[in-house]
Structure 1
Amino acid sequence: MERIGDVLKKKRLDLDISLGQSAEETMIASRYLESMENSDFSPFPGNVYARGFLRRYAEYLKLEEVEIQKLLSQYKAEQEDESFSQTEKKIDVKTTVLRNVRANKKNLYLYSTIIIIAFLIAGGILGAIIIPFLGREPKIDIDQSKLLSQEELMRKSKQPEKKKETRLEIKPVIIKGVLLEGNAFEEVWVQVQIDSGKNKEILIKAGEKIKWNAKGKICLTMGNAGAIAWKFNSKAIGTLGKTGIAKTMLFTPKKMQTVIKKELPVPIPSLSSKEEEKSLTENKEKQETDTIVSFQEQAMREKNTTQTTEERTKTQ
């Protein structure tokens, strides 16, 4: 059975197409095409991407659907065989380790027995030497001036020991700037704003790598959130969302968050021209009525004041 890579390479050479031309027309990086023609699928991030790129390249080379399905089935079988062989290797390693452990246990028992016997022999020899001296009463000269009284010993024993306080200095971890790195699985449109700079629109092709640095923030909008795997400050975070979903993210030195655009409030409908004219007329009539009433009240006050003055004059 021919290898997958041999079938692809033979078909490309029959069509008289270069590897660079294939990469440009399929929008697949040339290193991925070269890996597929070498039957090496390790550079792909997973089986889903490998199968997708294999189908796209086979369709580009105008292979029949039957041949494409055959290649996909062959790829699946090879992956299963590789997984099974890795499992067998793990089992062999475990078996070897168990054998070594058992052998080490036997050696350990042997060494332990030899050591115990050696201690017993040494103990017997020391006992034969020391026991004759134990029967003698030793003479002890005690200098009374150097002995501490019982009270002093009791007093010192009751005094608590001062514990030394140990202080741990915790230095805060300072995160400087924002580092955003990405690896594109497929072609995708993005818009990026670094710090307070202008928005830049970029069309990123499959297989390309991106790297942006910022002092304060990076605002990123993607037309397809599942098209790029990201690293935020050297930590892998994967894709920003599901395939086919547009998303906007804000990255700062300490965190990342989804940006949700707020909807504008619905404006309150204004009055129609007739209703507005009617309201203005009513306000005008009310103002005129209030003015007339005010003049009438002022005239009455002046009349009462005049009558009071005349009455006072007659009285005098």
Structure 2
Amino acid sequence: MSTGIGESLRTAREDRGRSVEDVAQVLRMRSDYVRALEDERFEVFGGEIYAKGFLRNYAAELGLDPQPLLEQYRREHGDQLATVGLVGSSATSRPSPRSAPPPWIAWVLVAVVVIAGLAFIGSLGSGRTPPQAGQDPTTAPPAPVQEEPTEEPEDGTDAGEEEPEPEPEPEPEPTFDGVEVLLALEESSWMRVTIDGSIAFEQTVPAGETLPFEGQDEVRVRLGNAGGVRAQVNGEEVESLGARGQVVEVVFTADGVETA
């Protein structure tokens, strides 16, 4: 169910004459992530913190205030939880007393019984008297018609039954052959990101941001506050990068995660 978040993003982008690919390039995001935000497919990001970070970045890039969209995101999830909590409450599950049926229903039932009895008696009186023994009947009973057996189709399906049309196969999710890293900041942290040997990013990032990075062989990240940063590599959540305030250097590859 649409909440209006995706429509607001799509309308703002189109009003500014920008394409999905243009926004994706500026934000260093994959274009399918931009489409996922506009279609409100937040489960693509693998976690609420990553979805809200990308939502904040996208709204800011379009010149929108991210807070109303984030509040709408929180309300949507909160409403779902509230609905689940009310289902089992005693206040809403208590049955209401039933009122007695109106008296005219009894007269209708009596009339139905009388009509059914008269119909049954009439059917007995209209039956024919069977012929006595030794007397030929006026007409011979019709010979039974032998039905020809129907041939079953060789494929085992019933005759006349149409085969159901095969359902279309779902489109495969886009894959990335190299190393894709998502960094979500729960707390502010300085970081330097080196992709395949070249420094691609170096600055202090505030809390709430989500940053994507892609490389062919490795993505090396040096953090000033490892405990305040969560990470995904190729869609898999990394358990921990370090403690709060700890300076660490982590190397992400297609084979896994290593501490330098």
Query: Normalized per residue, which structure has more helix?
Result: 1
Which is greater in Rg? 1
Per the normalisation by structure 1, the TM-score is: 0.34
Query: Normalized per residue, which structure has more strand?
Result: 2
Higher RCO (C-alpha under 8 Å, 6+ residues apart)? 2
